[in-house]
Each structure stands twice: as C-alpha cells, then as structure tokens.
Amino acid sequence: MAEMAIELRGIDKRFGAVHANRDVTLTIAKGSIHGIIGENGAGKSTLMSILYGYYQADSGSIAINGKPVRIRNSHDAIALGIGMVHQHFMLVDNFTVLENIILGAEGGFVLKGGMDQARAHLSKLNQDYSLDVNPDAIVGELGVGLQQRVEILKALYRGADILILDEPTAVLTPQEADHLFRILQALKAQGKTVILITHKLREVMDVTDAVTVMRAGAVVGNVQTADVSKEILADLMVGRKVNMQVEKQVRAAGAPVLQVRDLSLVDNRGVKLLDKLNFEVRAGEVVGIAGVSGNGQSELMEVLAGMTEASEGVILYKGQDISRLKGKLPRPALLRQMGIGHVPEDRSREGLIKSFSNFENGILGYHRDPALQGKGLYHRVKLVERMQSFIQQFDIRPADPLLRVGQLSGGNQQKVVLAREIHSNPDLLLVGQPTRGVDIGAIEFIHKRLIQLRDEGKAILLVSVELDEILALSDRVVVMAGGKITGEMPASEATPTSLGLLMGGH
C-alpha cells in the first residue's frame, strides 16, 4: 500500500452556527497530486487552514508521514514540512526575491552560511523545479505568475515536502498555468506531495492523481482521477446536473451606450498604460475584452468606472462626455447614480468592506439612495430585507444578512458584489473577472444572469482572463495587448487560437 503523507481523521470544525467541516476523513498518498473540489463555502479552505495550523479543529486527528501530530500554528506546520501558497501572496513588494525568501526563514542560511549559501540553495531549487525566477528581481515589479513562483520557492526553501495551493490558477494566464503544472509535476517526480484546491475541473482532470469532493462541510467523494470524468465530478460537487454551455440567442444590438474615443492613460513615469483606445458597447450587447492580465484591461476598467482620470480622449455614456465629470460626490458615485454599475476585479480591495456585515455591503456605493434612509441613518429593516433577497436570488451561503462579509468564503463574497450591482439595474454594467474563485454551479447562474441583463437591453462590458468565459458570453470581442487594441471581431468569428495570437500582440 502507498505510504501516506497526510491522514486527516474525523476533522470537525464549527464557526458559531456554521458547521464548516463535518467529520472529514481524508488520506493523501506521498508523492501524489491531490485535488480538493467543492462548491463555494464547502469547507475546503477551512480544512487546509486546519492542516496549516491557522485554525484548530474542534475534534479529529492528523498524522503526517504516519506519525500523529498536533499543529498549533504555521510554525508547527512548517517544521513538519508543510508549505502553503495562498491566494493573496504574503511577499514584501520592495524586497528582492532573495530577501523575501530569506525573510523569516529561521535558522536559515543567512545565519549559518551567509547570503552566498542562500543564493546557491535558491539557485538549485530554481533549477530542480524549472521555476525561472531571478533572485535579484524586485518582487513588486514581477507579474502575479512569477510572484506565485516566489511563494513556491519560499515554501521549498523552508523544506516543504507537502505543498498546499489554494486556487493557484485563478489569477494566472493559460500559459502561466501550464508552467505551474509543469512545476507541480516536477515536485511530484521528486517525491513531494501536492494538494490543489481548485474550481476548474479541467485542471483536476489534467494534473491530479486523486480527488476529494466536499459538499456542505463533508466529504462526498474520494476518487482516483482516472476513474471519473468532468461531468461525474460536477455532479458530485453540486448534487445536480450542471449545464456548462451558456444558452444565448442572437439579438440585434441597439444604440451605443458607451463610446470610447482615443482614450489614453499615462502613468507618472510616462509609461503609456492605455494607448488611443476606440470601441463602443451598444444596448443589448456584451462586449468582451480579452487579454493576458496586465495588458491594460484593469486600468481601462478603472478609468471607465471613474476611479482614475484619463490622460487623453473622451468617454461618452449615452452621448454625454463623462471622462472628466465633476460634482459634489466623487466620480464613481456620480457614475453609479447615472446608471453605470461596476463589479471590480479585486472584490477585496474595491468591492467590499470585509469588517462590515452582509447587509451593509449590500448597499455600498448606493448608500446615498434616499429610499434606503430611515428615521435615524438607515432603514435597517429595509437593508436587511434587501440583503435577504440577494441571498435568496444568488444562493449566498450562509444565508445570514447579519454576518460579516469577511466570514464568507471567497466565492460567496463575489456573489454579494454581483447581486448588489445587478440589483441596481444599470444601463451599463462594467464587470471584471465575474467568476474568479466561483464554483461551477454559481458560474452557470452568474452567466445566465448576465445574459438576462443583456436580453433586457442593457450594455455589458466584460473583462475576463478566461477565454472560455469571453467566448461564451460576448457578442463582440475586443482584444488588448500592451495597452492597445490589437483586434476586434464578432464572437462568432473568434476562436481561442485567433484570440491567442492577438493577445500576444500579433
């Protein structure tokens, strides 16, 4: 029988009324890549946080390499050879890669043998696992894909034999994801054990040896990947058939709602982030912006949503120039009042206030609406009822309007933002990465809602790094590379290959 790297037995964990892990038993063979999948809020991150010492289980036991252990904090976990790569990286931006890796590595090579030895060790790890990271690069200047590899290096440098990755590909381009999977295969070949939490069933099928499926805190399946299909996994996860195809009728677009003319943005170092963009979005139309992340899409959304002012060019909304709008309120608030909704790419920083409750987050950005005011400040009952209806429509879990948003799982936080913006019934909806970190059942629902909005005659501008999503939802596709538009075509004529070439700037 295969040797077990990890044995979790009867793990149980509650957060107040929420039963996050229910009697979870899970064994992972040494030298394997093990997938953990499940709907948003199924308890995946909680289970991994218990393994990494962030949380203590209420009951249950853990054994590592056959030995019973107690993991009280992440130091214990690291000492046992467990490393974790989080969704939000924990790196110091203005330090070099080498400095970041040495930082906090107690009893590390700095003390024993100085920088040179640390550098030599790093370079060996870099080579063994084809990480291709420059030790002298400043971390803040690296793209997300490379920053993630720095996190992997950091874990390996601390002697990790077991590596936990929490939705690592959510922020990666397809090419970066491929590179990551090659690294994971190299880790496996060296006898390391990898745990991969993901919502992408294709990845599970491609790289894992075995999969655990969780639902509502419990394990509902433990299977060898070779024995199952994507459809079987989807069924197990959601407990019903999921339609992964978006149903969409062809429909004629109406009048232009958003017109962007010669729009440019130059940063304070003189770098052109957006270079003379021209495009429009009509009523009843979804325009998808495809591109490798970091090619100006985020800046474009920020300018359109009024968070950054354009350096040159004009933005017309229903014929009115909104590019330099001024008023008593900040520009994003003015634009919201005019009917422009915005689902920001980074929900944590720009979409929510984590320490506020669900119902308070349900009105963020719309909190000046007189209909929501009561005798005191706000009409609390109205706010709670409003959140109740979001919860019901978007199946937000746990179904508690009073809970702090920070206590929801990532995918459920995303649903809070989407529910709020769609509820405002915008004439133009700007959506960035609407399904990042969202489970397949919820993706199906969000895609349906966006198409419904389009069918009601609304204009939608979609930015997504998921080409499948761009192709499934868009009527027209605009491709960006290096801050420029490199192509535009009806979605019916776009293929992953043609888009891929344009995304590369060809």
Q: Using the minimum distance from each CB to ligand ATP, give the nearer residue, 93 or 346.
A: 346
Q: Are 214 and 36 in contact (CB under 8 A)?
A: yes
Kindly list the strands in the beta sheet with 82-85, ordered across the sheet, starting from the edge strand earlier in the chain. 82-85, 162-166, 193-197, 33-38, 210-215, 218-224
Tokens of 202: 């294709």
- How many Cβ atoms sit within 10 Å of the Cβ of residue 104? 12
| 408 touches ligand ATP (CB under 6 A) | yes
| 126 touches ligand ATP (CB under 6 A) | no
Name residues whose C-beta falls within 8 Å of residue 293's C-beta, 6 or more positions apart in sequence: 143, 144, 171, 173, 465
Q: Using the minimum distance from each CB to ligand ATP, give the nearer residue, 322 or 408.
A: 408
Shortest gap between Cβ of 56 and ligand ATP (angstroms)? 12
| 200 touches ligand ATP (CB under 6 A) | no
Shortest gap between Cβ of 240 and ligand ATP (angstroms)? 18
Q: Are 204 and 233 in contact (CB under 8 A)?
A: yes
For residues 100 and 104, what is the distance between their CA atoms, to the nearest angstrom? Answer: 8
Q: Which stretch binds ligand ATP (CB under 6 A): 123-131, 187-195, 299-307, 409-417?
A: 409-417
> Which of 35, 41, 145, 168 contacts ligand ATP by CB under 6 A?
41
CA 207 to each of CA 23, 201, 326: distance values in angstroms, whole numbers, following the listed order: 27, 10, 52
Which three-class secondary structure string do you get for 138-178?
EHHHCCHHHHHHHHHHHHHHCCCCEEEEECHHHHCCHHHHH
- 430-449 binders of ligand ATP (CB under 6 A): 439
Q: Using the minimum distance from each CB to ligand ATP, give the nearer residue, 203 or 280.
A: 203
> Which of 5, 6, 26, 42 contacts ligand ATP by CB under 6 A?
42
> Which of 4, 9, 12, 18 contacts ligand ATP by CB under 6 A?
18
Tokens of 110: 């700095």
- Cβ burial 405-437 (10 Å sphere, 16+ → b, else e): bebbbbbbbbbbbbbbbbbbebbbbbbbbbbbb
| 38 touches ligand ATP (CB under 6 A) | yes
For residues 389 and 419, what is the distance between their CA atoms, to the nearest angstrom? Answer: 9
500: helix, strand or coil: helix
Q: Which stretch binds ligand ATP (CB under 6 A): 62-70, 116-124, 316-324, 402-410?
A: 402-410
> Which of 11, 34, 46, 292 contacts ligand ATP by CB under 6 A?
46
Q: Using the minimum distance from each CB to ligand ATP, give the nearer residue, 148 or 413.
A: 413
Chain centre to alpha carbon of residue 466: 11
Q: Using the minimum distance from each CB to ligand ATP, give the nearer residue, 408 or 470.
A: 408
Q: Which stretch binds ligand ATP (CB under 6 A): 228-236, 407-415, 428-436, 443-451?
A: 407-415
| 401 touches ligand ATP (CB under 6 A) | no
Q: Are 293 and 483 in contact (CB under 8 A)?
A: no
Q: Which stretch binds ligand ATP (CB under 6 A): 1-9, 36-44, 386-394, 453-461?
A: 36-44
Q: Using the minimum distance from each CB to ligand ATP, give the nearer residue, 233 or 478.
A: 233
Shortest gap between Cβ of 148 and ligand ATP (angstroms)? 17
- 83-112 binders of ligand ATP (CB under 6 A): none
| 398 touches ligand ATP (CB under 6 A) | yes
Greatest Cα-to-Cα distance within the chain, rounded to the nearest angstrom? 71
Instruction: For residue 222, give the H/E element and its range.
Output: strand 218-224
Q: Comparing C-alpha atoms, which of 220, 195, 186 is closest to residue 52?
A: 195
Q: Using the minimum distance from each CB to ligand ATP, give the nearer residue, 212 or 298.
A: 212
Shortest gap between Cβ of 436 and ligand ATP (angstroms)? 11
> Which of 15, 56, 66, 92 contacts ligand ATP by CB under 6 A?
15
Applying CB under 6 A, the residues found at the interface with ligand ATP are 15, 18, 20, 38, 40-46, 397-398, 407-412, 439
